[in-house]
Amino acid sequence: MSLDPSYLEYPKRRHGMDHDLYPWSNIFERKPVTWPGGKNVALCVVVPLEWFPLTVKDKPFKAPGHMQTPYPDLRHYTAREYGTRVGFYRFLDLFAKHGIKASIAMNAAIAERYQPLVRDVQAAGHEIVAHSTDMNGIQYGGQDEAEERQLIRDALDRLEKATGQRPRGWHSIARSQSFNTLRLLTEAGVEYVLDWPNDDLPYVMKTEAGEIINLPVNHELSDRQIINVCQNSEKDWAIQMKDAYATLAAEKGGRVLAITLTPYIMGLPYRIADLDETLGWLAGQSATWSASAGEIVDAWLAQR
């Protein structure tokens, strides 16, 4: 059976990057950035707080970390729930201990279902970033524009109602976007995204609705990628975080070290000591400025 010819048609394909969102740029030829206090490395800790429905939406793809076995997959459901019941509170203790300002990428369903958790996040001064409605709320190429617009509106409206504050930032599930996503987010008033991992500094993307900032969060620095996918240990993870920091601190011009911590992965009791030691080491370096994603974006824009 031969493929339908339309399968090989790509409406945006051309020479270059297949889009007009931003020009290519060499980071070493840009104007240097200085973070507050003359620091060289902005430490951006991103924590996904995700609600995985037992009924999986697996088209066009299943969200990373979703249920694995036939319904009801209570084993994986409760393993993930460990993050909201236990793991995340270990994180909050460590953030307070080491003076770390985190960015919490929160599903709207989490904000609605776990109000005490929301209050604890806000009381600690951490930022809440929109992370769709729940882990079935995927954006993807070919998605109906009206459907995606409604998804974005629902997530922002529900988060605002549940938290009392409309999120400035957006983190797509699996960092997946359609060709309409950035425009729709800009139209909805979102100021920045955490989706494209192609730099060590924020940069501007231009859409038909105006500008939006991308603050790169590299999935290669995610605990899910390092520990679950690559099957490295938490001690290997710690080495990689310190190596990444050392490289960025040695480069001149200001850099962002964005790391993702998943509560049901790194919040487990046999891993938390390594997380404690690593966060203490990162926060204790003389070049470190620990800040939320929104604070980093604001500091960068002030020097644009």
Checking if the pLDDT of 174 tops 90, the result is: yes
| Beta carbons within 10 angstroms of residue 140's beta carbon | 16
> What proportion of the chain, given as a percentage, has pLDDT over 90?
92
| Average pLDDT value for residue range 214-240 | 97
Q: Do residues 12 and 18 touch, judged by C-beta distance below 8 A?
A: yes
Strand bridging mode 203-207 / 210-214? antiparallel
Q: What is the mean pLDDT of the chain?
A: 96
User: For residues 284 and 14, which has the higher predicted lDDT (pLDDT)?
Assistant: 284
pLDDT (0 to 100) of residue 2: 65
Checking if the pLDDT of 7 tops 70, the result is: no
Residue 95 identity (one-letter amino acid): F
CA 190 to chain centre: 14
Q: What are the residue ranges spanned by the domains of the chain?
A: 32-301
Q: Which residues face 9 on adjacent strands?
A: none
Q: 186-195, pLDDT tens digit by residue?
A: 999 999 999 9
d(CA 160, CA 156): 6
d(CA 220, CA 197): 9
pLDDT (0 to 100) of residue 13: 83
d(CA 65, CA 42): 28
pLDDT (0 to 100) of residue 12: 82
CA 3 to chain centre: 36
pLDDT (0 to 100) of residue 8: 73
Q: Which CATH superfamily is domain 32-301 in?
A: Glycoside hydrolase/deacetylase (3.20.20.370)
Q: 196-225, pLDDT tens digit by residue?
A: 999 999 999 999 999 999 999 999 999 999
Stated as kind and residue range, the H or E segment containing 128 is strand 127-130
> What proportion of the chain, given as a percentage, has pLDDT over 70?
99
Q: Taking the CA atoms of 194, 198, 200 and 202 in sequence, report the sign of the dihedral they define.
A: negative
Q: 142-162, pLDDT tens digit by residue?
A: 999 999 999 999 999 999 999
pLDDT (0 to 100) of residue 18: 86
Checking if the pLDDT of 108 tops 70, the result is: yes
Q: Coil, strand or helix: which one is 272?
A: helix
Angle at 192 between CA 187 and CA 198, to 5 degrees: 125
Q: Which residues face 129 on adjacent strands?
A: 105
